[in-house]
Amino acid sequence: MTPITITLAIIGGALCFFASPGWALATYCAGLFLYPQPLTVVVGGVNFSLSRLLILPLLLNAVLRGHNLRDYKYHVMDACVLAMFVCSTAGVDGERADQHDRAAPGREMFDTLLPYVAVRLLVNSKDKLIGFFKTLVIIGIPLAVGGAYEALTGHNPIGWMAPYFAWGLASEDATAEVRHGFTGRA
């Protein structure tokens, strides 16, 4: 599955970099929500999901279109997200200390901070916000269909990919445990 992830990252990265800001953000959201996150590419010993590979071209698109920086206005939420990032990376709990998980701050940055900054730069008006919501609804339709299918049949439509997952639900037992019995099976 790595070649598929790399191919999608190249195509999606080009779209995120060269497309208009609205289409670039839609491409990122499609990669984030529609492609399984545990299917990763290992770069320097760190697992990069498709969304982590797409966020940098999206940010470059936003920054290189300088009008977005001029329109940026500070908001209290900016401080809250930054404080959450700092606190979650600076705080070391017992589990993380035992695992010596040095990649956690990078994951937090690629999964929380950078997407937040990209959306703040690209969605800066009411019209763009409405367009962003419409995009999320369209992307959510296949997710809703897949969720309804799984709820009715108990069969995970992407379960066949589990052996390729870098982390997560690699077995039926793990799936059942995480879902606390809510798997659709009698």
Q: What is the pLDDT of residues 56-92, one digit of tens each?
A: 999 999 888 766 677 777 889 989 988 888 887 776 5
In a domain, 143, yes or no: yes
Residues listed for the chain = 186
Question: What CA–CA distance (Å, rounded) separates 173 from 186?
Answer: 15
Residues 6+ apart with CB under 8 A from 46: 103, 106
Q: Which domain holds residue 19?
A: 2-178
Residue 29: name the closest of 4, 62, 55 by CA: 55
Among the ranges given (36-45, 90-99, 114-123, 163-172), the one the predictor scored with the smallest mean pLDDT: 90-99
- Our measurement of the distance from residue 169's CA atom to the centroid of its chain's CA atoms, rounded to an integer in Å, reads 17
- Rounded percentage of the chain residues whose pLDDT exceeds 70: 80
In a domain, 112, yes or no: yes
How many structural domains comprise the chain? 1
Judge whether 184 lies within some domain.
Answer: no
For residues 47 and 39, give the distance between their C-alpha atoms in angstroms, rounded to a whole number: 9
Q: Quick check: is 51 in a domain?
A: yes
User: What is the overall mean pLDDT for the chain?
Assistant: 82
Give the separation between CA 98 and CA 9, rounded to whole angstroms: 33
* Choice between 20 and 171, residue whose per-residue pLDDT is larger: 20
- 47: tokens are 């697992």
Q: Taking 50 as the threshold, does the pLDDT of residue 4 lie above it?
A: yes
Instruction: Give backbone dihedrals phi and psi of 178, rounded to 5 degrees, phi first.
Output: -65, -35
Tokens 């979650």, located at residue = 88
pTM of the model: 0.80
Domain assignment present for residue 185? The answer is: no
